[in-house]
Amino acid sequence: MTALTHWLSPQTMQSLGWALLHFLWQGAALAALAAVTMAACRSARSRYCLGVGALAVMLATPVATFFAQTPSGRTQSPQPTYVAPSFSKSAAPAAPASQLPSSSPDAFRWLVEAWLVGVVAFSLRSAGGFLLIEHERRKRFAAVSGPVLETCLTLQRRLGIDRVIRYCHCVRLQSPAVLGWFRPIVMLPVSALTGLSRDQLQSVIAHELAHIKRLDSFVNVFQICVETLLFYHPAVWWLNRRIRAEREHCCDDIAVSICGNPLEYARALTLMEQWRSAPVLAMAATRGPLSGRICRLLGLKSAGTRMRGAGLATSVLCLTTALIAGNTFLGVAHPRTNVHAAARPAPAPGFAFHLQAAVPSPPAQKPSPAQSREKAQQPISASSYIDALKAAGLTDLTVDQLIALKVQDVTPDYIRGLLQQGLHPDVNEIIAMRVQDVTPDYIRDLRALGIDVDGSRVIALKVQGVTPEYVRGLKDIGLNPGADRLTALKVQGVTPEYVRNLQAAGISPDADRLIAMKVQDVTAEYVRDVRALGLKPTADQIIAMKVQDVTPDFIKALQSAGFKVDIDDVIRAKVQDITPDFIDRARKHGFQNLTLEKLIELKRLGVLEPQADI
């Protein structure tokens, strides 16, 4: 980097260094202004546009500062610059600015070199991500077909997207994602195809298509470029996080408007959070803070929404501080030019004047001994809320944590109640439990029913609406699920009534199989119809039959054709597409005494399929 910076002139080096330093207060001021403006907007789309605009201004600000700092090729001799003298009775005349120490060129050189090293490092990081995306895009993924492809194309038409989009499924990814920019690929993991219901899968696909319609991948590249160039400022990373969060909110809104089922979409997000694995540069459905997105979809108030007032006050304070720092910075970088001392009237003896960026305040007067004794006798007022929190076990709290605890009305009694139930949550878990209205009584009732919960599990149970009555209802019918299984059962809408109906139909699945049966929309009527045909499937066989779309009518058709089939035969016949029409064609060709195995072999070899003319 030293060889590179040697190509830069000292003036260019100094201008670039000042531009980087000035952006410290400029970036903070822009971020604070963006926070205040975005908090006043009600729609996610408006907040997203404001965030992207603020990021563009952040990128343009140091560029403009650099050109403002660079001389415009002047050839005339610079005007002499003088520092206003500071006179006192014994003061000597001040030296001109040309004789005063200036900013060290070495300091600017090291500053610019450090910045260039950071830019190169982050550029390599971004390049690696782009190469990874391109590598993934060039792989030959298996294209989706059948009902899933028809669903994707229908949603694409409803969104008005005319671009050519490939739809593929992948085993390695655990959450849907969009790869590519000009030729996008919507990647659907096998876990989503098999683990989500039809409505849930539609909402997730609509979310990914919304990214393509909005050209979010190109904005994401712009964000990465800004992060690479201005990597050293936390405000850039904060604003980019806000932009990405609002981008997910925008796509969530589009998905809900197209599919119209926010509850099922929220359940899908909850499930996919456990499967999350997507490249950073890809547009994935599980990007963004999950709890805030789910609360927003369900119309609930999240912790971030309730802290908006505190956030506004903090942003205004940050903006004021940044402007004050900027004013001071400008005074250091550009000291005011004063007229020649000879052209000014001499100040009166015994007085001093200082024309500087800021005037120091006079020292405070020392209090008298009587005032000191009076102040010592006054009681010191302590923050009772902070002391009470410390007494309850919360120590070493930051200002942000104190504000969040107070905003959410977390009391010391509430914390003691959680501790009495055997929980030892951290500050963030306490705030989340208070937001979700998790009470000590709720925890006590769950533990009385044998549910062992910690901080994160009790929050998940409360978010999904798991009540002690719901747990008792499941236990009354013979189920004894743990906290994680309870959350999954509630997410999929498994009710005690649903389980009782299945048991009445002759099948008693456990919690895992109940979840799978509910995902595949297995009903008690379906089980009864299958058993009425003489078959006695297990829970696993029922799930497999439903996955392969085996209907009672299909079983009746096989039985009417003379086949005595069991469950495995029915599933094999459905997988191989052995239809009644195919059986009739085989018999019309003179094949007699056909077994199911022979029919499957004929179908596999395509013996009865029409042949093209040679």
Report pLDDT for 355: 28
Spell out the residues 6+ positions from residue 416 whose beta carbon is closer than 8 angstroms to its own.
392
Distance CA 188, CA 201 (A): 9
424: pLDDT confidence band, cut at 50, 70 and 90? confident
CATH says 108-306 is which class? alpha beta
326-358 per-position pLDDT tens digit = 555 555 555 444 434 334 444 433 333 232 333
**Nearest residue to 433 via CA among 291, 556, 594:** 291
The conformation of residue 362, written as its DSSP 8-state character, comes to P
Query: Which sequence spans correspond to the domains of the chain?
Result: 108-306
33-45 per-position pLDDT tens digit = 899 888 888 888 9
Percent of the chain with pLDDT over 90: 23
The CA-atom distances, in angstroms, between 453 and each of 294, 418, 442, 483, 492 are: 22, 12, 11, 6, 20
Q: Average of pLDDT values for 383-404?
A: 81
pLDDT at 562 over 50: yes
298: pLDDT confidence band, cut at 50, 70 and 90? low
More confident of the two residues 373 and 265:
265
Report pLDDT for 143: 81
**Nearest residue to 291 via CA among 387, 93, 152, 432:** 432
**Nearest residue to 62 via CA among 21, 116, 100:** 21
Report pLDDT for 72: 56
Most confident segment among 32-41, 260-269, 360-369 = 32-41
Distance CA 32, CA 34 (A): 5
**E strands, 483-612, in order:** none
Lowest mean pLDDT among 190-204, 348-362, 540-554, 582-596: 348-362
The tokens describing 492, both together, are 């999929």
DSSP H/E element including 503: helix 496-504
The tokens describing 61, both together, are 């600000």
Supply the angle between the helices 44-69 and 234-259 in degrees, to the nearest 10. 150
**Nearest residue to 472 via CA among 451, 492, 441:** 451
Task: Write down the residue that tokens 């040697």 correspond to.
Answer: 6
**E strands, 458-605, in order:** none
Lowest mean pLDDT among 196-205, 275-284, 496-505, 529-538: 275-284
Q: Contact 488/272 with Cβ under 8 angstroms?
A: no
117-171 per-position pLDDT tens digit = 999 999 998 888 777 776 766 665 778 888 888 889 999 999 998 888 888 887 6
Instruction: Provide the 3-class DSSP secondary structure of residue 14.
Output: helix
Q: Average of pLDDT values for 98-106?
A: 51
Report pLDDT for 241: 92
Report pLDDT for 351: 30
Report pLDDT for 52: 94
Report pLDDT for 578: 84
Spell out the residues 6+ positions from residue 18 whose beta carbon is closer than 8 angstroms to its own.
65, 66, 69, 108, 333
Report pLDDT for 467: 94
The tokens describing 321, both together, are 């501080």
Give the predicted TM-score (pTM) of the model. 0.48
DSSP secondary structure of 276-292: ----TTSEETT-S-HHH
What is the side-by-side strand order in the sheet with 185-189?
142-143, 166-170, 185-189, 177-179, 283-284
Instruction: Provide the 3-class DSSP secondary structure of residue 76.
Output: coil
Percent of the chain with pLDDT over 70: 72
